[in-house]
Amino acid sequence: MKKHSVQEILDRIHTDYEFQGNSSIDYLDNIRSISDANEHSIVWCHPKREDKQQLIEKTAGRLIICDHSINRTSRLLKEKGFILVDNPKLTLSRLMKTIYDGRSDPGIHTTTTVHPDACIAGSAFIGPNCFIGMCTVGEDVIIHGNCFLYDGTTVGNNVVIEAGVILGAEGFGFAQNEKDEWERVTHIGGLEIHDDVEIGAGTTIDRGTLDNTIIGKGTKVSKSVHISHNVKIGKDCLITGCSTIAGSTTVGDRVWISPNATVLNKLSIGNDVFISAGAVVSHDIPDGFQALGRKVLPRNKK
């Protein structure tokens, strides 16, 4: 991060804010946690921390993103600058995007193999050692190295796929024959990854048997997640690390699935559902409920 003045930082904040305090800080050249800052740091403080006042008084950071509840004494206003917002974390995140642009230049790495009939937008980036089958890849997509996209996978716009992801593999589907042997069921469905989705490293998502597996707009999938064939996931869900969603389950919008949770097959999970860490979900969950272990209860409304 190069050196910035306070005003240069404020010019990068595109949300409602109020500035108070010292605007003549020499320069700012790093963003750090509030407890590990130096005099040239930008820091932030969570509004719900019980010790936030003490943290802000003790930090060496000079430019602080926080909410209005902080007691801004005359001493603090003389020493530090305060960017006062309703959502400090979101403001910091958006600020970092303007300073640390991690996007790679568009293009396909020379070690990647692409099917001749694949349709890849010119603004997409595809990293090393990938295989891209007969797929469609939208605008401003980032695919990191060592990913494998099977035929029939469609990736929307502004999607991020981290390293080692496998998309569109054949699902774990078998039929028992006359000899009680298992015969693989051919999967002719596809996989749809809608706009603004992010998929973490090491995650696998299977294609559908007949219809498509679907990951809805804005959903974020963490690392080492498995999503089975025929699953349909709605918009703006958070699916965290090492969770599993079994085949033909439908998940609504704004669902939070915590680490190591297992959602069994052919279930219907409603909108605004929370599933706790390690939960095993074996029954349908209505809108607005939560799964805690094996219990399904209404969510507390705040």
Helix (H, G, I), strand (E, B) or coil at 257: strand
- Per DSSP, helices labelled H in 80-232 are 88-99
14 belongs to the catalytic site: no
Q: Give Cα separations from 38 to 24, 27, 31, 41, 64 (angstroms).
A: 16, 12, 9, 5, 12
Q: Is the dihedral of CA 51, 55, 57, 62 positive or negative?
A: negative
Which two structure tokens, joined as six digits, stand for 41?
A: 């740091």
CA distance 208 to 219: 19
First to last CA, the chain: 40
Go through the chain and tell me how many residues it has. Answer: 302
Kindly state the tokens that stand for 141: 């997509």
Q: 127-136 — which CB contacts under 8 Å span 24+ positions?
A: 127/163, 133/168, 135/168
Exposed e or buried b per residue across 130-144, where buried means at least 16 C-beta atoms within 10 angstroms of its C-beta:
bebbebbbbebbbbb
Question: Which of the following is catalytic: 144, 187, 194, 229?
Answer: 229
Helix (H, G, I), strand (E, B) or coil at 108: strand
Report yes or no: 45 and 56 within 8 Å, Cβ to Cβ: yes
Beta-sheet strand order (sheet of 232-233) = 119-120, 136-137, 153-155, 191-193, 213-215, 232-233, 250-251, 268-269
Which residues are catalytic, by number? 229
